[in-house]
Amino acid sequence: MASALDSATEKLASLDIGGSAPNLQKNLHLLSTEQIELAKILLETGQSHLFEHWAEPGVDDEEKKAFFDQVSRLNSSYPGGLASYIKTARELLAESKAGKNPFDGFTPSVPTGESLNFGDDSFISFEESGVKEARKAAFVLVAGGLGERLGYNGIKVALPREITTGTCFLQYYIESILALQDASSKLASGERQTRIPFVIMTSDDTHSRTLELLESNSYFGMEPSQVKLLKQEKVACLDDNDARLAVDSRNKYRIQTKPHGHGDVHSLLYSSGLLQVWHDAGLRWVLFFQDTNGLLFNAIPAALGVSATREYHVNSLAVPRKAKEAIGGITRLTHADGRSMVINVEYNQLDPLLRATGYPDGDVNNETGYSPFPGNINQLILELGSYIEELTKTGGAIKEFVNPKYKDASKTSFKSSTRLECMMQDYPKTLPPSARVGFTVMEPWLAYAPVKNNPEGAAKVPKGNPYHSATSGEMLVYRANSLILRKAGIGVSDPEQQVINGQEVEVWPRITWKPKWAITFTDIKSKVSGSCSISQRSTLVIKGRNVFINSLSLDGALVIDPVDDAEVKVEGSVVNKGWVLEHVDYKDQSVPEELRTRGFGINKIEELEKNLFA
Residue among 425 and 539 whose Cβ is closer to ligand UTP: 425
Residue among 261 and 515 whose Cβ is closer to ligand UTP: 261
Backbone angle region of 397, left / alpha / beta, with phi > 0 → left and psi within -120 to 50 → alpha: beta
Among 24, 28, 93, 142, binds ligand UTP (CB under 6 A): 142
Q: How far apart are the first and last CA of the chain?
A: 75
Interior CA angle at 138 toward 133 and 141, to 5°?
130
x/- letters, 240..279, toward ligand UTP (CB under 6 A): -------------------xxxx-----------------
- Give which of 299, 276, 243, 297 is closest to 126, Cα–Cα: 299
Residue among 231 and 545 whose Cβ is closer to ligand UTP: 231
CB of 261 to ligand UTP, least distance (A): 5
CB of 177 to ligand UTP, least distance (A): 16
Residue 121 phi/psi, 5-degree rounding, is -60, -40
Binding segment toward ligand UTP, per CB under 6 A, in 144-152, 236-244, 317-325, 561-569: 144-152
CB of 234 to ligand UTP, least distance (A): 8
CB of 267 to ligand UTP, least distance (A): 12
Residue among 48 and 290 whose Cβ is closer to ligand UTP: 290
Among 6, 148, 311, 361, binds ligand UTP (CB under 6 A): 148
For 123, 125, 195, 386, 521, the CA distances from 128, given in Å and listed in that order, are: 9, 5, 19, 24, 10
Sign of CA dihedral 305, 306, 309, 313: negative
Our finding on whether 466 is near ligand UTP (CB under 6 A) is no
Would you say 477 and 162 are in contact if contact means Cβ atoms under 8 Å apart? yes
CA dist., res. 86 & res. 279, Å (int): 35
Our finding on whether 149 is near ligand UTP (CB under 6 A) is yes
CA dist., res. 124 & res. 309, Å (int): 13
Going by the DSSP 8-state scheme, the letter that residue 239 receives in this structure is E
Q: Calculate the CA dihedral of residues 516, 518, 519, 522 and round it to 10 degrees.
A: 150
HEC per residue, 409-441:
CCCCEEEEEECEEECHHHHHHHCCCCCCEEEEE
Backbone angle region of 228, left / alpha / beta, with phi > 0 → left and psi within -120 to 50 → alpha: beta
Residue among 25 and 344 whose Cβ is closer to ligand UTP: 344
Residue among 135 and 207 whose Cβ is closer to ligand UTP: 207
CB of 420 to ligand UTP, least distance (A): 11
Our finding on whether 143 is near ligand UTP (CB under 6 A) is yes
Among 27, 48, 96, 290, binds ligand UTP (CB under 6 A): 290
Q: Cβ of 517: how many Cβ atoms within 10 Å?
A: 19
CA dist., res. 454 & res. 470, Å (int): 7
How many residues are given for the chain? 614
Among 231, 321, 419, 452, binds ligand UTP (CB under 6 A): 452
Tell which positions 184-243 bind ligand UTP, by CB under 6 A. 201, 203
Q: What is the largest CA-CA distance in the chain?
A: 89
Residue among 71 and 296 whose Cβ is closer to ligand UTP: 296
Q: Total number of residues binding ligand UTP (CB under 6 A)?
A: 18
Binding segment toward ligand UTP, per CB under 6 A, in 123-131, 140-148, 362-370, 484-492: 140-148
Residue closest to ligand UTP, measured at CB: 145
Residue among 346 and 390 whose Cβ is closer to ligand UTP: 346
CB of 515 to ligand UTP, least distance (A): 20
Positions touching ligand UTP (CB under 6 A) are 142-150, 201, 203, 259-262, 290-291, 452
